[in-house]
Amino acid sequence: MDFGFAAIDITPPPGEELTGYGYYLNRRATGAADPIMARALALSDGDTRAVVVQLDLLALDPHWVSAMRARVERKLGLPGDCLMLHCTHTHSGPAARVTFGCGRPSEHFMHALGKHILQITQAALADLKPAGSVDSFDVDFPEGFAHNRVGGIDLDTRVRGLNIVIPGARPILVVNYACHPVTLGVNREYSADYPGALIRELNAYGCRAIFLTGPCGDINPLANTVRVGPAAYETLGIYGRDLAACARSAVAESLPWQPGPLRVFSRAVSVMGDIPEPVQLEASLEASGEAGRRPGQWLAPRGHGMAPEDAGGSGRGDCRRGGPGGDPGLRVRECGGRRTVGGDLHRTGADHPGCRA
| pLDDT tens digit sequence for 244-264 | 999 999 999 999 998 888 988
Q: Which residues of 227-264 are buried (b: 16+ CB within 10 A; e: fewer)?
A: bbbebeeebbebbbebbbebbbebbeebeeeeeeeeee
The torsion angles phi and psi of 79, rounded to 5 degrees, stand at: -55, 140
Determine the residue type at 166. Answer: I
Residue 128 lies in a domain: yes
Does the pLDDT of residue 5 top 70, yes or no? Answer: yes
Question: Regarding predicted confidence, which is higher, 283 or 217?
Answer: 217
Residue % of the chain over a pLDDT of 70: 77
Q: Which pLDDT score, from 0 to 100, does residue 297 have?
A: 40
Residue 342 lies in a domain: yes
Residues 194 and 89 reside in one and the same domain: yes
| Strands 49-55, 37-44: pairing kind | antiparallel
Confidence (pTM) = 0.77
Rounded CA separation 88/354 (Å)? 37
Rounded average pLDDT over 233-239: 92
Residues 230 and 341 reside in one and the same domain: no
- Last residue within a domain, chosen from 210, 226, 256: 256
Rounded average pLDDT over 328-342: 39
Rounded average pLDDT over 135-164: 94
Residues 126 and 243 reside in one and the same domain: yes
Residues 29 and 130 reside in one and the same domain: yes
Residue 346 lies in a domain: yes
Contact 198, 157 (CB under 8 A): no
| pLDDT tens digit sequence for 60-99 | 999 999 999 999 999 999 999 999 999 999 999 999 999 8
Nearest to 49 by CA among 122, 158, 149: 122
| pLDDT tens digit sequence for 153-165 | 889 999 999 999 9
Residues 227 and 307 reside in one and the same domain: no
Residues 248 and 292 reside in one and the same domain: no
Rounded average pLDDT over 201-228: 90
Residues 33 and 94 reside in one and the same domain: yes
Does the pLDDT of residue 330 top 70, yes or no? Answer: no
| Strands 18-19, 172-177: pairing kind | unpaired
Does the pLDDT of residue 320 top 60, yes or no? Answer: no
Residues 284 and 249 reside in one and the same domain: no
The domain containing residue 195 runs over which residues?
A: 2-256
Does the pLDDT of residue 336 top 60, yes or no? Answer: no
Domain total in the chain: 2
pLDDT category of residue 228 using cuts at 50, 70 and 90: low
pLDDT category of residue 230 using cuts at 50, 70 and 90: low
pLDDT category of residue 22 using cuts at 50, 70 and 90: confident
Mean pLDDT, the chain, rounded, equals 81
- Last residue within a domain, chosen from 192, 224, 256: 256
Rounded average pLDDT over 109-129: 98
Residues 243 and 316 reside in one and the same domain: no
Does the pLDDT of residue 300 top 60, yes or no? Answer: no
Q: Which pLDDT score, from 0 to 100, does residue 242 have?
A: 97
Residues 18 and 124 reside in one and the same domain: yes
pLDDT category of residue 31 using cuts at 50, 70 and 90: very high
Residues 306 and 252 reside in one and the same domain: no
Range with lowest mean pLDDT among 104-108, 163-167, 305-309: 305-309
Residues 221 and 114 reside in one and the same domain: yes
Q: Which pLDDT score, from 0 to 100, does residue 209 have?
A: 98
Residue 262 lies in a domain: no
CB atoms within 10 A of CB 12: 18
pLDDT category of residue 232 using cuts at 50, 70 and 90: confident
Residue 272 lies in a domain: no
Question: Regarding predicted confidence, which is higher, 227 or 339?
Answer: 227
